[in-house]
Amino acid sequence: MELRHIDIARLSVSPANMRGAKNVPDLANILPSVRARGVLVPLIVRANGKPDHYEIVAGKRRYHAALAVADEGGAVEALPCAIMAAGDDAAALEASLIENIARLDPDEVSRWETFTRLVREGRRPEDIAITFGLTDVQVRRTLALGNLMPRIRSLYRAEKIDAVTVRHLTLASKAQQRDWLALFDDEKAYVPIGQQLKAWLFGGTSIPVKAALFDLKYYGGEIISDLFGEERWFGSASDFWAAQRVAIEARADAYRGAGWQDVVILGEGEAFHGWEYERYPKRKGGRVYVAIGHRGDVSFHEGYISAKEARRMERGEPVEKAVRPEISAAVQNYIDLHRHAAVRNRLLSSPDAALRLIVAHVIAGSSLWRVSVEPQHAHNDAISESVELCPSETAFDAQRRAALALLGFDPDMPTVTGGYMGEGGLSGLYRLLTTLSDDVVLDVLTLVMAETLEAGSALIELLGVDLGVDMAALWTADDALLDLIRDREVIGHVLSDVAGEDVANANADATAKVRRGMIRDCLTGANGRAKVEGWVPKWMAFPPSSYTERGGVGTVKRVRALGELPPAAVVVGDSAPDDATLH
């Protein structure tokens, strides 16, 4: 068995799963926990034949709970998984993992105390992970609580702040943690938590003046103050960083001049995790580590070496002196930004390259692009099967398979989006697309746009009209829909649609089951009734309408929300679906 964190996009439910592959399980008693703390007990998975893809043998509820959190707009990290080896028994593995988790302290702060003690005794995070049936990432996240001020740990132990907030605070400097605690204690202040805290810590450009290591006379930009002059910020982040980096290098040179063997300047935003290092005096070769926060704060950690180096020295093995890079981080940043500016300016005159870049980004993603495939979550198996077998989905799947073959992707991939597994990542996919004609690349772009088009959105209403979608030609009523219509008034309107108003009025007092049977007879031509062709309920047409004045029809509500939009400025949808063929 191997424990590893796996991206949720690379997981699917195995047909052999003990809870079944299609049914969405009841998540009522697990979703709050996953929403607050994430998935703790690893899923049992096995390879499914695709590179880096796995199917879930046990842990379906945890998987669906994580999907539900993602649908709510929450951040979902890679899930802890136990990868089965040949001959492993899933039930035994699951029981073993749950038993190991049960041995842990119930709260994470207590686990941090336990893990920290074990690290001091010489246990590696990997060893701790094996002992308790956790992944390395889970252990390291718990150890990262050591970066927190004691009061924040106490608040977390008392469940006054959630796990997502704590994760972000472990990456904050002590100064940022103090600022956050001041907001937490102020009843009138806005306290950023969760993803808002991440933006507050790392995403904003408001850099406080107190973060500066340099004399303000070396800063040429504007300084902004609040109305009372109590808080001041740098108006120009670029001017601040130019001066701050010079000051950091000067401080590093001063440390070296004072006899420190080496000064390691960490990358911007890279946290200094104390549990990964051990104290070591300057006279024995200890280093200075410089941590730089996203909001400009800088902290200097004097007299440390890595824990791995400390273990080597205990064994009497030589430790290689760190080699100073040819260029500093500031020089590399200068080079990267100037080259980026030159390339993107040149890209403005290369729409053919831009087209391929867009397609590559949608399919493969990047640190700046994240596009999700429409999951088509169904409320029950009947709806799922109805959609899967409908003519539109069948035709779409044929186009998808053609695109997978054209691009040389794994033919078993469920989507083109996210389906590139070749070498070179995003760059490799872009190079592949440069070998294809513009028309073919546009066909691929059309397909991935369709894969990532959100169901149940106002855009569907707009596109349905613009593209002239005729549901009568693309859809036929089935039992999955008819069985869901249970409202007596609505059933009466539908019966009037298919059998006529006289028949509907004559059977107004009949049970819903009887009238539903009459509707089914009209649509199939059974029991002596004339078969009705091309019937589409008002809710499904483009544009949609409703049968009653009661409201609650999502399609109608979305159309009303669009308001009076101007007509399309260009003609769209003038090619028949059959013409859009990938070849």
- Model-level pTM? 0.51
Round to whole Å and give the CA distance between 465 and 551: 21
Q: What is the pLDDT of residue 579?
A: 47
Residue 581 has pLDDT above 60, yes or no: no
Return the bridge partners of 289, or none.
264, 301
Same domain, 91 and 52: yes
Q: What is the pLDDT of residue 453?
A: 94
The 10s digit of each residue's pLDDT in 4-50 is: 888 888 898 887 665 555 667 778 777 877 877 778 788 888 887 77
Query: In terms of pLDDT, which residue wins out, 109 or 433?
Result: 433
pLDDT above 80 for 454: yes
For 348, residues 6+ apart whose C-beta sits below 8 A from its C-beta are none
Higher pLDDT, 116 or 18: 116
Which H or E run contains 520? helix 512-524
Yes or no: say if 523 and 547 are a contact pair by the CB < 8 Å rule: no
Query: Are 326 and 388 in a shared domain?
Result: no
Instruction: Give the residue-averaged pLDDT of 383-397.
Output: 93
Would 573 be classed as within a structural domain? no
Choosing from 140, 170, 203, the residue where a domain stops is: 203
Residue at 304 is within a domain: yes
* CB of 148 closer than 8 Å to CB of 173: no
Whether 217 and 341 map to the same domain: the answer is yes
Asked if residues 58 and 17 have their Cβ atoms less than 8 Å apart, the reply is yes
In a domain, 472, yes or no: no
Among 316, 349, 382, the domain-final residue is: 349
Are 342 and 357 part of one and the same domain? no
Closest CA to 79 of 129, 115, 34: 34
Mean pLDDT of the chain: 84
The pLDDT value given to residue 227 = 44
CATH code for position 73: 3.90.1530.30
Q: 56: pLDDT confidence band, cut at 50, 70 and 90?
A: confident
Q: Are residues 176 and 303 in the same domain?
A: no
Does 386 have pLDDT greater than 60? Answer: yes
Domain for residue 397, yes or no? yes
Cross-strand partners of 43: 81
- Claim to verify: residue 159 and residue 274 sit in the same structural domain: no
The encoded tokens of residue 367 equal: 């640190």
Q: How far apart are CA 66 and CA 56, in angstroms?
A: 13
Position 86 scores a pLDDT of 63
Question: Same domain, yes or no, for 189 and 225?
Answer: no
Say if 12 falls within a structural domain: yes
Same domain, yes or no, for 335 and 416? no
Question: Residue 578: what pLDDT?
Answer: 47
Q: Specify whether 329 is located in the same domain as 228.
A: yes
Q: How confident is the model at residue 455 (pLDDT cuts 50, 70, 90)?
A: very high
What is the per-residue pLDDT for 297?
86
Q: Same domain, yes or no, for 239 and 299?
A: yes
Q: What is the pLDDT of residue 356?
A: 95
Q: Which domain range does residue 371 map to? A: 350-455
Averaging pLDDT over each range in 98-107, 279-288, 489-498, which range is the top one? Answer: 489-498
Report CA torsion sign: 476, 478, 480, 481. Answer: positive
* Coil, helix or strand at residue 406: helix
More confident residue, 384 or 224: 384
Number of domains in the chain: 4
In the chain, % of residues over pLDDT 70: 86
| For residue 309, pLDDT beyond 90 | no
Regarding whether 314 and 355 lie in a shared domain, the answer is: no
Instruction: Output the 3-class SS for 178-234.
Output: HHHHHHHHCCCCCCCCHHHHHHHHHHCCCEEHHHCCCCHHHCCCCEEECCCCCCEEE
Domain assignment of residue 530, yes or no: no
Among the three residues 177, 203, 229, which one is the final residue of a domain in this structure? Answer: 203
Residue 243, φ and ψ in degrees, nearest 5: -75, -35
Whether the predicted pLDDT of 446 surpasses 90? yes
Percent of the chain with pLDDT over 90: 35
Determine the Cα–Cα distance for residues 500 and 413; give it in Å rounded to an integer: 47
How many other C-beta atoms can be found within 10 angstroms of the C-beta atom of residue 206?
Answer: 13
105 has a pLDDT exceeding 50: yes
pLDDT band of 492, cuts 50, 70, 90: very high
Residue 117 lies in a domain: no
328 in the same domain as 241: yes
Cβ count near 279 (within 10 Å): 12
Instruction: Select the more confidently predicted residue: 123 or 519.
Output: 519
Q: Whole-angstrom Cα distance, residue 62 to residue 31?
A: 8
Q: Is 583 a member of any domain?
A: no
- The predicted model gives 63-88 an average pLDDT of 78
Over residues 138-196, the pLDDT tens digits come to 888 888 888 888 999 889 888 888 888 888 888 787 888 888 998 888 887 778 887 67
